[in-house]
Structure formats: C-alpha cells, structure tokens
Structure 1
Amino acid sequence: MTGRVAIVTGANTGIGYQVARYLAEGGNDVVMACRSIEKGKEAMNRIKAEYPNSLVQVMEVDLSSMDSVRKFVKEFTRKKTRLNLLVNNAGMALNFKDQTRKTMREGFEVTMATNHFGPFLLSCLLIDYLIQTADIMGEARIINVTCALHDHEHSWLSKDCGFLEVDNFQLQKEGTFNGLQAYKNSKLCNVLLTYYLAEKLNNTHVTVNAIDPGIVPTTELSRNANKTDRFLWLCCVHRCCRIAKKTTTPIKASLHICQLADSEKYEGVTGKYFQNGHEERSSVESYDKELQEKVWKVTNRLTGARSMTLANEDLEEISLNSHGSLDMIK
C-alpha cells in the first residue's frame, strides 16, 4: 500500500469510476465521493471483487449542495489524517437547448453549483489537509476535470456561446440562460480557478492542474437531458464524433487523469491545462487575470468558503462572516 489518500468525485460511473479503480489497483486509499451512496457501493463492490485487498470506501456528497459538501468534509476529516490527491471529476449538464433556468434549494443555478461551486468549496475546505500532507510527504495534487467547450472561440459545439459576465454569473438576467452557456461558463470557471489557485499555492508543494479528458458520450454527464436529446447525443453526435475520431472511452480518458495524478513526470507541474494527455493552451478568456480574481472573489462570497491567499511564506485566510463581509484573518 502506498499510504496515499485520494478523493475522486463522481466515482461510481464513467471516468470517475475508472480513475478510482486505477488508484485502488495501485495501492492507494481511495474515497469514492458519490451523489448516490447506493450506486457508489455497487461500484466499490466491483472494484473490491477485482482487487480484494484494495483500500476503497464510499462517502456521500452532492456537489450541488454546499451543505452536503461541508458535511462530507467534516466526515472525511474524522476518518483521515491526510489527503494526497483530490480529483474534482463529477459534473453535469442540462439539455444544451434548455432555456429554463433551474435552481437548487440554496438558490444556485444547478449547473454552476454542481460543476463549479461544489468543487471550489470542496477544494477550499480541504486545502489545509493538502498543504499539511505536502509538507510531510513532499507533494499533494488537485486535478480539475474540465471540458474543451470552455473555449467557445475554438469549439464548434459552443461557438454560439458568449463570454462569461461576472455581473450575470449565474445567467440570472432575463433571456440569457441556456443549458450550453451555463455548462460552458461552469467549465471555464474550472480553468480560471485552476490558474488562480495554482499561483496562490506557490511554494506549498500543492499542485493544481486542469484536464480535458476528451469527448466521452457514454458517461452520465447528460443524465438530466430528456430521452430524445440523450438519444440524439448518444446515437447521432456520438457517431459523427467517432467517425471524425473525436471521441474516446472512459478507460482511455481516465488514463490521462491517472497519469497526471500519479506519475513522477508531473511532480511539481502546476497551473497547466491538458488535453488528451498533452499540455495545451486553454481559451484566451481563461488567462484573464482580472477575470480569475473576480471569479475567485464572487465564488468565495456566494459559497461562504474560506479561501486562501498565499504570498511567499505568508498565509492569509479569507472567511465570510455572519454579516456577509470579508474578514482578513492572519
């Protein structure tokens, strides 16, 4: 056993399952963070049947709920004393043509909540564990799974999308919402905050990278779409992309993530964007440092997260007080 502890979100199916399976096979202590505890246990049992001595367990978390994320972190820190790897893999998409904005109980738009707010809060609440582990074991890693659709200027599928507007962060303005724009914005936020957090974690030996694993039509990403649109995606779009050699399988996609998570090749590599196993340039929009900072601040405020700003050896923690203002705590 390696002694390394890893959290993989969305680990009961698709890419997340294959990442958890690979890490478990390698002797890592794997926490499968799943929205459905029942489906998570079924997936865990499949891994244990294949690797009887593997260290793998399931914990429940619904990334669209900030209360659920906090509950998960509280339970995790009761069980584990370290964290070497966090793979923010779980995600969802509405019907891309859907113009009906859907919100969660906490008032967040569901796509942004699941794909961005939840992973952001999870990362912030676990950052101390990652820093402490890196100090003891030499390094710790965060991997944010994103999508090429974040780059609407170069993606044929999201070419009709617009730029992210901070004052319309959750597409709350009338007539601006559609499922594709919501998804594009949330995946852009993954990249924006990968770069921002990587810079702020400089000198801590905690690395942060983003990866687009490719088009994997057989995942449950489109689970919220209606049956007709799911059929069109799986049968029509999948076939066209496959003919054009634009698709991949969960196993192949997971290998790129696993290499980034496990390989010595990527030790110390941080603040990068990868596609299909290779470092690439992300969207022009994602390199906007002013936008990175604005998104960081608005996300911190909306989620009530305790985010961190690191400057050399100085660590400042930003927390949201009961009145909603930001306090700087040394």
Structure 2
Amino acid sequence: MQTIIITGATSGIGYECALELARMAPDKQLIIPCRNLQSGQKVVKKIQQQTNHQHVICMPLDLESLQSVREFVQLFSEQPHRGLVALLNNAGIQHADETRSTRDGFEATFGVNHLAPFYLTLLLLPFMSAGSSITFTASGTHDPKQTTGMPTPVYTSAEQLAYPAKTNESPVAVGQKRYTTSKLCNVLTTYALQKRIEKLNIRVNAFDPGFVPGTGLARSYSPFLKFISNYIFKLLILLHPNVHTARQSGKNLANLAYGDAYKAYTGKYFEGKKEIPSSEDSYRQDLQKELWETSLKLTGIKPEQTSIPLP
C-alpha cells in the first residue's frame, strides 16, 4: 500500500488536511507522526470515525530531535508499503517567551521548522518515485511586502540561526522574527530542493495557509496574546482575503499535495489555491546554497542515506 505522511496533523490546519487526505485517498496509508502516541491515537480514531478510512496510523516523531527523525525513517522503512506518494512538512512552532533549544542544541524554531523537516525529507527521498510530491508549509510572513504585521525575516547565516547570539530585544519580537525567518528557510529549501530532484520527477512546492486564527502556533503566547489570537483575530476572516479557517487551509494544503489539479506544478509558491511570487530574498541563489550546505553539515546526513548527490 502506498503512503502519505503529514506532520503537525494532531490539530489545526494539519488535522483538517489529514481529514481531507483520508477522503481523497481511501486506498493509501496515512501516517500521522506525533510526539505523544496517546494523543496521536485519539486523532487517528477521530479521522477513522469521520472518514471511515481504515489505514490511518500514528508513528512516534519528535522534531526537536534528529535522532527521533532517524528512528522514524527506520521504522517507516520496516513498514509493509509500496512507496511514499506524498510528504507534507506541515508542523511548526513559534515561541514568544525565552529562547529554547532542541535536543541537538539548535535554536528550537529553526530546528523544528527548518532543520528537522529538511532532514526528514532527504532521508525519505529513497522511498519516493516519479509522481510523488513534497510540500512545505511556509507562511506569507516570510515576505516583507505582505502586510502581515510580523517582522521582516533576518537571514544572516544558517549557522547563526542555529546558534543565535544573546539579544536584549523583547522575547515576543525575537520569537516572531525567528518564526518569519524559519518560514523563509522553508521557501529557500523548496527552491534548492527542486533543482536537485527535477530529474527524479518528484515535485516540491511551498504553501502559505494564510493567517489561521486559533491554531497551535500560539501555544507559547501569554494568556492575553492567546485570547487575541483565538478570538479577536477570528473576526479578520470576514475582512481579509488571506485569513482562513483551519478547514479551508487544510483542504487547500491537501489539494496542493495530492490533488490532480496541481500535478504539473513544482518549485512554486502557493497562497491558498493560487500560485504567487514569494519574497525577493527567497529567490537568492546565494542564500539557497548557503542554507542547503550548512543544513547538510548541521544534520550530518550522509550520501548513502538519501537518493540525490550531496551537496
């Protein structure tokens, strides 16, 4: 049985996307990676109850640990399957308090939002074939020209993003900047990867879900900011074209990753249903190259672990 993997599917956009994928692909195995298997099993049961899809499973994966990523891929390799038809790198975090680090010592936003999905993708490439798809959930906040209210990304080097210097800026401002920069990394990775897998006929795209009030990204906010995110911002759905419900964005993500209408697209950036240009910096080949090469070094991936030449 062929397989679809979607990270960040226990709530919000990812959960709604998983529901849609279960409806779209009843003959495919749907894997929900999760840190907490008990919570994951509850999500699996809900998806099965709502869609009658009987091939949904959860598998342990902690994106704050590169070892966990390796163990997930090893476990996946032992599953009875006939290849990976779609990988959706949807999980993401944003911290608005103190600086946090992954188990490998990387700044957590960069580690979880960029390095772990980068590593996961390269390790899973050997299980993909022509026609398979890879989708990175990015964000319009990576583009300074978009009126998102979020700070402009600051890309210095991947090394400095992984090991940032101490700063006197407010934790909220720092957390937001790290988030928007990590989303720029998702788009840079999309373009860098597309060049390297073009001959394999595997497509890769980046997706902006728009602003989705009430999602898990606000989990580390103060009670006041959580209230604003969960309730006040929901009014924007009626006023702003790129503010969506989790259900709307989840369906858009599922269609981009697996829908017939998007099978000819690769190396593109989508805002909801439509292809649009990404930020000017995202097209800079020097940034793409620096991020790619440093990410290879930071993750320690070996040539025999993936199916494309390194670097």
Identify the structure with bigger relative contact order (alpha carbons < 8 Å, sequence gap 6+): 2
Alignment match, 2:190: 194
- Conserved 8 A contact 2:109-2:178: yes
Alignment match, 2:50: 50
Structure 1 residues 168 and 176: CA distance shift in structure 2, 3 A: farther
Measured after TM superposition, the shift of residue 53 of structure 1 is: 4.5
Measured after TM superposition, the shift of residue 101 of structure 1 is: 1.8
- Conserved 8 A contact 1:212-1:275: yes
Alignment match, 1:17: 15
Write out aligned runs for 1:153-168 (5 A). Answer: 153-158=145-150, 160-166=151-157, 168=160
> In structure 2, what is the Cα distance between the partners aligned to 1:289 and 1:252?
33
Task: Give the superposed CA RMSD.
Answer: 2.1
Measured after TM superposition, the shift of residue 199 of structure 1 is: 0.9
Alignment match, 2:89: 88
Q: Which range moved further: 299-308 or 118-127?
A: 299-308
> In structure 1, what is the Cα distance between the partners aligned to 2:301 and 2:214?
33
Alignment match, 1:149: 141
> In structure 2, what is the Cα distance between the partners aligned to 1:154 and 1:213?
14
> In structure 2, what is the Cα distance between the partners aligned to 1:149 and 1:184?
6
User: How many residues get paired?
Assistant: 302
Alignment match, 2:256: 260
- Conserved 8 A contact 1:34-1:40: yes
Measured after TM superposition, the shift of residue 19 of structure 1 is: 1.6
Alignment match, 2:107: 109
Give 1 or 2: higher helix fraction: 2
Measured after TM superposition, the shift of residue 24 of structure 1 is: 1.6
Measured after TM superposition, the shift of residue 175 of structure 1 is: 1.7
Partner of residue 274 from structure 1, selected from 270, 273, 276: 270
> In structure 1, what is the Cα distance between the partners aligned to 2:235 and 2:37?
33
Amino acid at match of 2:243: T
- Conserved 8 A contact 2:64-2:104: no
Measured after TM superposition, the shift of residue 13 of structure 1 is: 1.2
- TM-score scaled by structure 2? 0.90
Cα-to-partner distance string for 1:45-79 (whole Å, 9 max, x where unaligned): 01112233431111111112111111111101100
> In structure 1, what is the Cα distance between the partners aligned to 2:123 and 2:68?
12
Measured after TM superposition, the shift of residue 307 of structure 1 is: 6.4
Partner of residue 283 from structure 1, selected from 279, 302, 310: 279
Measured after TM superposition, the shift of residue 226 of structure 1 is: 2.5
Cα-to-partner distance string for 1:100-126 (whole Å, 9 max, x where unaligned): 321122101111111111100100100
